[in-house]
């Protein structure tokens, strides 16, 4: 199982702490069954930490105008909203909620050039709260795709998440499905697309980051080919 680089330090420290605690517990306590139970619980806890930082290889053969899910999770919002931070106009928002058991790596939904990347320190409302997109700790990234134009996605920390890693820097040329960052312990990601977008998911659908195609943005060429 491939691990995300954000997990190396956490896993190493967790392993060291568990070993030290178990060592002293066995030294100071001669109750065999209690030591055995604690050892088993420690092993399960460590395995859960390792599992959380898994980073499975993903790839998809998407068309140039198709948008892939940036994360694993469940679609919780599909609606037309006013986006005030960057676009300052109406956009189609697709939101994906991640539970602590989902893969938490964030992947680029489209290829292109990063033209905006900003971090905001904020609150830690539950990730499905309507105001979490505006009030929670978050990062906003905009990638300018040569076919469909600028696409925004926003990493949002939840009630449990306390740290967002964002690798996007303005000027970077990025590839669809590539590693864009990591959100630690429960969160959500919002994607903001043009209004002329055909959505390929419905609320409640499960997504796989870097694999599930969530939308198809209608280009000018496609619109001209539609029958009047």
Positions marked catalytic = 187
Contacts of 152 (CB under 8 A, 6+ apart): 83, 86, 87, 91, 116, 140, 141, 142, 191, 192
Give one DSSP letter per residue of 61-104, joined into a string: ---TTEEE-SSSEEEEEEEEEEETTTT-EEEEEEEEEE-TTS--
Task: Give per-residue burial for 57-85: e unless 16+ CB within 10 Å, then b.
Answer: ebeeebeebbbbbbbbbbbbbbeeeebeb
Angle between helices 8-28 and 32-52 (to 10 degrees): 180
């Amino acid at each position: 199982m491939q691990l995300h680089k954000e997990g190396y330090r956490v896993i190493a420290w967790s392993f060291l702490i568990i070993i030290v605690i178990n060592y002293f517990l066995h030294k100071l306590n001669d109750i065999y069954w209690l030591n055995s139970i604690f050892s088993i619980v420690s092993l399960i806890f460590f395995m859960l930490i390792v599992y959380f930082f898994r980073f499975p290889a993903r790839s998809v053969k998407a068309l140039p105008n198709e948008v892939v899910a940036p994360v694993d999770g469940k679609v919780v919002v599909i609606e037309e909203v006013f986006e005030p931070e960057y676009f300052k106009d109406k956009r189609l928002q697709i939101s994906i909620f991640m539970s602590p058991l989902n893969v938490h790596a964030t992947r680029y939904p489209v290829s292109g050039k990063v033209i905006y990347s900003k971090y905001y320190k904020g609150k830690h409302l539950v990730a499905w709260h309507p105001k979490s997109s505006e009030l929670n700790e978050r990062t906003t990234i905009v990638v300018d795709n040569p076919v469909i134009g600028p696409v925004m996605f926003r990493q949002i920390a939840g009630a449990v998440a306390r740290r967002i890693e964002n690798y996007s820097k303005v000027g970077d040329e990025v590839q669809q499905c590539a590693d864009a960052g990591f959100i630690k312990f429960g969160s959500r990601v919002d994607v903001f697309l043009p209004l002329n977008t055909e959505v390929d998911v419905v609320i409640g659908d499960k997504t796989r980051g870097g694999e599930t195609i969530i939308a198809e943005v209608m280009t000018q060429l496609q619109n001209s080919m539609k029958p009047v």
